[in-house]
């Protein structure tokens, strides 16, 4: 039995697909030849002659010198979304897995990238949230241009690709749906996307995905003019010719964004779009042919309703069972492809946790919720069952074989199951312990801080902060810039993993790399939590590439320290609603106006705004903290710990998105 780190990064895997009917070009990069010193690798595997490694940025390296220092070559390929989570040699090829994608190579030098989630996370009633869909300023024009440039490797001669496209735009007046648009000559596609997003309040990411979903424009290297004329598919019904009045790239992007706003029936417009009501169940067709049937869908937000008004079909079971290919004659793919594209390109915090191993010369995959799929070629996948008693906050964390050769999984909460036939899964007893650890957080007093607020954020009592820092009296007098320390003791749980290391694994220690893997598996649970390549994927392998507890390599893009768990006082937060006053809120939560004023740094007790978040008290609950390491940011911690940035900011009121974090301090994540 071997003990491994179970980190948030370990829950981020996947594999690659053709997008929206317009496949992205396979990423084949010629080998570089300048040898370099040993990079700071986090995974390594060998086929017997070539050693392949992956660094913390997800970049893939190779060495024909047994991994000796000075023999490493940069392949030029990186799975940079969340880094590499596992790396193996299947017997036929190397496979490096990551969030929503994998890279494969016959020799470890030239790689092809493919995308593929199993798709169980797809919710037909919640394809994308309103917050993600309806936002202006989500990307700058420069960021959009950089993204478009990254998707076009080589535009063919005599063609204009999206990243180089320009068009004269014209002024549009302000309407109930969009702000005014100021046209100009030779406006780039990136500028048009940015300005439409700003004018109509639809995220640039949504418009980019729409362009790919409808016409494949984002990645097309030889697009004909008609693709730009019909760029977003606006006024192009499935059962009739397109309306030429709306042809043209600018026309298409603007009218599509405006139409998504119109679907919400804003004040001043007629209530025309009512057949997909939010919060209620509607029958959504599977295909333009009515004979194909419908499925009942409870639509949970306006953004999802808008997608169905725009493309009125939901993917049927065959379309979802074979997410990387086609379903049957009644399958449609538009909204499935929108979801897949958006999550692959723009949603790094969503976790699908797909793990792959081999089974009788085929590939076997499992997603975080325990759904199993099998493939003989790595392109077409079919469902083969589900592991019971997993999913939700107890997602799959490791997948492979035990030392007895039985297929097994380990979950985020330390439950293990194994099977001989993939039908009957039995619980597997593993050793579980916990170790107390003490952590010290340093806090610099800022304007508006109170000892009560500092203590509450850190889950300790006011008296603890007062005593530890020798504060006078009850701690009412602290000064801006004063350095405080908060000492906490938490329990770090440990689980013994039943998953054996893959036979191709190379220990980092043997390559002269300091292996920082801990010998524990942390309870890092959470409620959440493109290539045209027709070659066969007949090989595969165990996604866990660890060795012994003394020579184990990380099974994530970064070795995370276990979360610090402790019982503490958590803030109770109230969101101000219309008609609220501080007196009413204080009465409701059995507190006083002065206490609310001090806890929330309110200057005028007669002025609060709708939507304002107020700390109205505290209650005792289990809290979990991330220990800050060098290079950590609020957004990176959110990504690693599989929570939203908004959640972290709400739990750590002293932080902002761009806050500098002190190494060794604790950031609450649950």
What is the per-residue pLDDT across 339-354, written as a single tens digit (0 to 9) for each? 988 987 887 555 555 7
CA distances from 586 to 71, 449, 538, 615 (A): 67, 21, 65, 11
646 phi, psi to nearest 5 deg: -60, -40
Contacts (Cβ under 8 Å, ≥6 apart) of 604: none
What pLDDT is stored for residue 569 in this prediction? 58
The distance of Cα 93 from the centroid of its chain, to the nearest Å, equals: 27
196-230: pLDDT as tens digits: 999 999 999 999 999 999 999 999 999 999 999 99
pLDDT, greater one: 359 or 131: 131
Q: Is the pLDDT of residue 31 over 60?
A: no
For the chain, first and last CA: distance in Å? 30
Helix or strand or coil: residue 216? coil
Give me the mean pLDDT over the 324-328 stretch.
Answer: 75
Q: Confirm if 572 and 617 have CB atoms less than 8 A apart.
A: yes
481-537: pLDDT as tens digits: 899 988 877 776 677 889 888 888 899 989 988 654 332 323 333 333 233 332 333
Stated as kind and residue range, the H or E segment containing 339 is helix 334-346
Q: Is the pLDDT of residue 540 over 70?
A: no
What pLDDT is stored for residue 62 in this prediction? 96
pTM of the complete model: 0.58
Q: Is the pLDDT of residue 263 over 90?
A: yes
Max Cα–Cα distance, the chain, nearest Å: 79
Give me the mean pLDDT over the 628-633 stretch.
Answer: 81
Q: Around Cβ 457, how many Cβ atoms within 10 Å?
A: 24
Distance of alpha carbon 276 from alpha carbon 260, whole angstroms: 13
Range in 47-56, 132-141, 267-276, 430-439 the model is least confident about: 430-439
What pLDDT is stored for residue 392 in this prediction? 66
pLDDT band at 4 (very low <50, low <70, confident <90, very high): very low
For the four alpha carbons of 91, 93, 94 and 99, in that order, the dihedral sign comes to: negative
Range in 171-185, 314-328, 459-473 the model is least confident about: 314-328
pLDDT band at 383 (very low <50, low <70, confident <90, very high): confident
Phi-psi region of 661 (alpha: psi -120 to 50; beta: other; left: phi over 0): beta
Question: Which pair of tokens denotes residue 545?
Answer: 């590439």
C-alpha dihedral (354, 355, 358, 364), degrees to nearest 10: -30
Question: Which pair of tokens denotes residue 42?
Answer: 């986090």
Q: Which parts of 68-226 are beta strand (E)?
A: 72-78, 84-89, 94-98, 101-105, 112-115, 166-167, 187-188
Helix or strand or coil: residue 37? coil
pLDDT, greater one: 334 or 23: 334
Which is nearest to 502 in space by CA: 208, 58, 96?
A: 96
Percent of the chain with pLDDT over 90: 37
Question: Which pair of tokens denotes residue 85?
Answer: 């989570």
Distance of alpha carbon 163 from alpha carbon 160, whole angstroms: 8
What pLDDT is stored for residue 219 in this prediction? 92
pLDDT band at 301 (very low <50, low <70, confident <90, very high): very high
Give me the mean pLDDT over the 2-25 stretch.
Answer: 31
C-alpha dihedral (656, 657, 661, 667), degrees to nearest 10: 80
Percent of the chain with pLDDT over 70: 81
What pLDDT is stored for residue 633 in this prediction? 86
126-137: pLDDT as tens digits: 999 999 999 998
pLDDT band at 661 (very low <50, low <70, confident <90, very high): confident
- Full 3-state SS string of 479-497: CCCCEEEEEEEEEEEEECE
Q: Confirm if 359 and 374 have CB atoms less than 8 A apart.
A: yes
Angle value at C-alpha 514, between 508 and 517, nearest 5 degrees: 75
Q: Is the pLDDT of residue 546 over 60?
A: no
The distance of Cα 646 from the centroid of its chain, to the nearest Å, equals: 14
565-586: pLDDT as tens digits: 776 655 677 878 877 888 888 8
What pLDDT is stored for residue 545 in this prediction? 30
Q: Can you give the length of the chain in residues?
A: 670
DSSP secondary structure code for residue 222 in this structure: S
382 phi, psi to nearest 5 deg: -125, 140
């Amino acid at each position: 039995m071997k003990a491994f780190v179970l980190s948030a990064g370990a829950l981020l895997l996947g594999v690659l697909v053709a997008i929206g009917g317009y496949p992205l070009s396979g990423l084949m990069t010629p080998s570089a030849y300048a040898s370099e010193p040993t990079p700071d690798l986090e995974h390594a595997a060998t086929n017997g002659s070539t050693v392949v490694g992956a660094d913390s940025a997800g970049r893939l390296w190779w060495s024909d010198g047994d991994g000796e220092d000075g023999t490493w070559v940069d392949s030029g390929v990186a799975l940079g979304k969340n880094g590499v989570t596992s790396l193996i040699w299947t017997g036929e090829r190397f496979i490096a897995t990551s969030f929503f994608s994998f890279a494969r190579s016959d020799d470890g030098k030239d790689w092809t990238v493919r995308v593929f989630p199993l798709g169980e996370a797809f919710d037909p009633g919640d394809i994308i949230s309103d917050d993600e869909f309806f936002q202006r300023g989500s990307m700058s024009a420069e960021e959009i241009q950089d993204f478009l440039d990254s998707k076009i490797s080589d535009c063919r001669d005599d063609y204009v690709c999206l990243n180089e496209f320009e068009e004269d735009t014209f002024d549009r007046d302000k309407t109930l749906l969009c702000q005014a648009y100021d046209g100009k000559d030779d406006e780039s596609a990136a500028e048009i996307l940015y300005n439409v997003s700003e004018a109509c309040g639809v995220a640039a990411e949504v418009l980019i995905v729409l362009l790919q979903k409808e016409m494949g424009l984002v990645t097309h290297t030889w697009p004909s003019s008609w693709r730009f004329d019909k760029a977003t598919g606006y006024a192009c019904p499935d059962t009739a010719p397109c309306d030429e009045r709306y042809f043209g790239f600018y026309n298409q992007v603007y009218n599509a964004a405006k139409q998504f706003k119109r679907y919400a029936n804003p004040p001043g417009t007629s209530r025309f779009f009512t057949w997909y009501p939010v919060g209620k169940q509607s029958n959504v067709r599977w295909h333009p042919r009515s004979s194909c049937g419908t499925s009942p869908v409870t639509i949970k937000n306006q953004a999802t309703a808008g997608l169905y008004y725009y493309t009125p079909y939901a993917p049927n079971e065959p379309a979802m069972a074979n997410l990387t290919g086609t379903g049957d004659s009644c399958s449609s793919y538009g909204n499935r492809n929108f979801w897949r594209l958006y999550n692959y390109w723009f949603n790094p915090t969503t976790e699908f946790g797909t793990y792959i191993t081999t089974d009788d010369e085929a590939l076997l995959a499992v997603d975080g919720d325990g759904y199993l799929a099998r493939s003989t070629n790595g392109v077409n996948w079919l469902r083969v069952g589900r592991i019971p008693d997993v999913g939700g906050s107890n997602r799959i964390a490791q997948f492979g074989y035990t030392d007895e050769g039985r297929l097994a999984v380990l979950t985020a909460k330390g439950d293990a199951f194994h099977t001989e036939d993939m039908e009957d899964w039995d619980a597997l007893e593993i050793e579980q312990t916990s170790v107390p650890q003490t952590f010290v957080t340093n806090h610099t007093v800022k304007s508006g801080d109170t000892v009560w607020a500092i203590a509450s954020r850190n889950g300790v009592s006011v008296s603890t902060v007062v005593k530890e820092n020798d504060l006078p009296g009850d701690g009412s007098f602290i000064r801006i810039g004063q350095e405080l320390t908060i000492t906490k003791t938490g329990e770090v749980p440990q689980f013994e993993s039943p998953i054996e290391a893959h036979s191709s694994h190379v220990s980092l220690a043997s390559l002269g790399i300091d292996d920082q893997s801990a010998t524990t598996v942390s309870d890092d649970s959470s409620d959440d939590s493109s290539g045209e390549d027709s070659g066969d994927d007949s090989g595969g392998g165990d996604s866990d590439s660890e060795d012994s507890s003394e020579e184990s390599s990380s099974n994530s893009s970064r070795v995370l320290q276990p979360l610090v768990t402790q019982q503490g006082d958590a803030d109770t937060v109230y969101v101000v609603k219309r008609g609220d006053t501080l007196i009413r809120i204080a009465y409701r939560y059995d507190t006083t106006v002065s206490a609310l004023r001090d806890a929330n740094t309110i200057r005028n007790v007669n002025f609060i705004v709708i939507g304002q978040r107020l700390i109205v008290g505290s209650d005792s609950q289990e809290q979990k903290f991330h220990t800050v390491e060098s290079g950590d940011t609020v957004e990176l911690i959110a990504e690693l710990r599989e929570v939203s940035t908004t959640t972290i900011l709400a739990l750590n009121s002293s932080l902002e998105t761009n806050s500098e974090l002190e190494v060794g301090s604790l950031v609450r994540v649950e």
